[in-house]
Amino acid sequence: MSVRNDLPHTITDMVTVALAATDGMLHFELSLAHEVFASAPDGVTAPWYDLTVCGPAAAHVGRFRLEPDAGLDRLRQADTVIVPGWADIDEEPPAQLVDAVREAHEAGARVVSLCTGAFVLAAAGLLDGRRATTHWAHTEALAHRHPRVEVDPDVLYVDNGTVLTSAGKAAALDLCLHLVRLDLGSSVANAVARRLVVPPHRAGGQAQFVTAPVPDRDDHPLAALFPWAIERLDQPLTVQDLARRAGMSSRHLGRHFKAVTGTTPLQWLLTQRIRYAQELLEQTDDGVDTIAAAAGMGTATTLRRHFNRTVGVPPDAYRRTFRSGAR
């Protein structure tokens, strides 16, 4: 499963988020989005999102009764509008919600659907001529009902710039972290992921804009090795170097790495080098050659090859995305 990012999204002052909450929505995706955007994780000093829950006077979300902060007309004033999952895909979403979402996009909002919320966006005409996704169990229904939508069932989410859609459940969280990453950078997205105890990047070949940090738990045999290696990313570390530092054989080291990180020592090192290169691209004006040396990639050519394959965009494009979105 992979991620499609067809148009790198760039922003200047995207801070207000409107979360649509009407009868017939799924509480999981709504709660998930609220958890991500309602408050900043500890230690994050960047300006955070101003979240408003919008809907009728009272909405029944799943088995819960919810009193929104504002009406659906507030969607038009938001920078980002999030539409959670729609419970009954065989039922047309309310015209009031569809109209409000369409008007918000026409007013310049970035509109995001989580899981089956894509059916609301499709009803509003926002997915016509665009690639989109939804929960795997409902991709055929979405394609059948809205033939002008290019439905991709094999991705976690699709970013079309001002219109974004996610697959089901956990992929909704992937997309929410992607939004934070675009707006505030990978280090802040990592902080949100740590608070939620989830990886900011899920393995499987998807070209997301962040790589996995080291595990938070410190009760494993590699706890001391990780920070030691990260402090020496500019050096040509080998598996033997890591094994020697950990006081174990290379084969034993490989077993521990697989158990703790799900990958090999060399792949983990590459992941950390890419992660460090991302931070340098976001936070410094250093050239690609300098960053390649600092991240232990040797040359700019090597960095570009690995970065493009892992992240999905070249280093220069990655830097432009985050610089254009800097606050």
Structure tokens at 237: 């570390």
Tell me the backbone φ, ψ of residue 30, rounded to 5 degrees: -65, -45
What 3-state class would DSSP assign to 308? helix
Pure H helices in 107-238: 118-123, 139-145, 170-184, 186-196, 225-230
What 3-state class would DSSP assign to 300? helix
Assessment of whether the complete model's pTM goes beyond 0.75: no
Report the DSSP beta bridge partners of residue 20: 54
Within a 10 A sphere around the Cβ of 101, how many other Cβ atoms?
Answer: 28
Tell me the backbone φ, ψ of residue 60, rounded to 5 degrees: -100, 105
User: pLDDT tens digits for the chain (327 residues)?
Assistant: 344 444 333 334 547 999 999 988 888 999 999 999 999 998 888 789 999 999 987 877 767 788 889 999 999 999 999 999 988 899 999 999 999 999 999 999 999 999 999 999 999 999 999 999 999 889 999 999 999 999 988 788 889 999 999 988 888 998 999 899 888 888 888 889 888 877 665 533 233 333 344 554 556 788 889 889 999 999 999 999 999 999 999 999 999 888 877 788 998 899 889 989 988 998 899 999 999 999 999 999 999 999 888 877 789 888 876 654 443
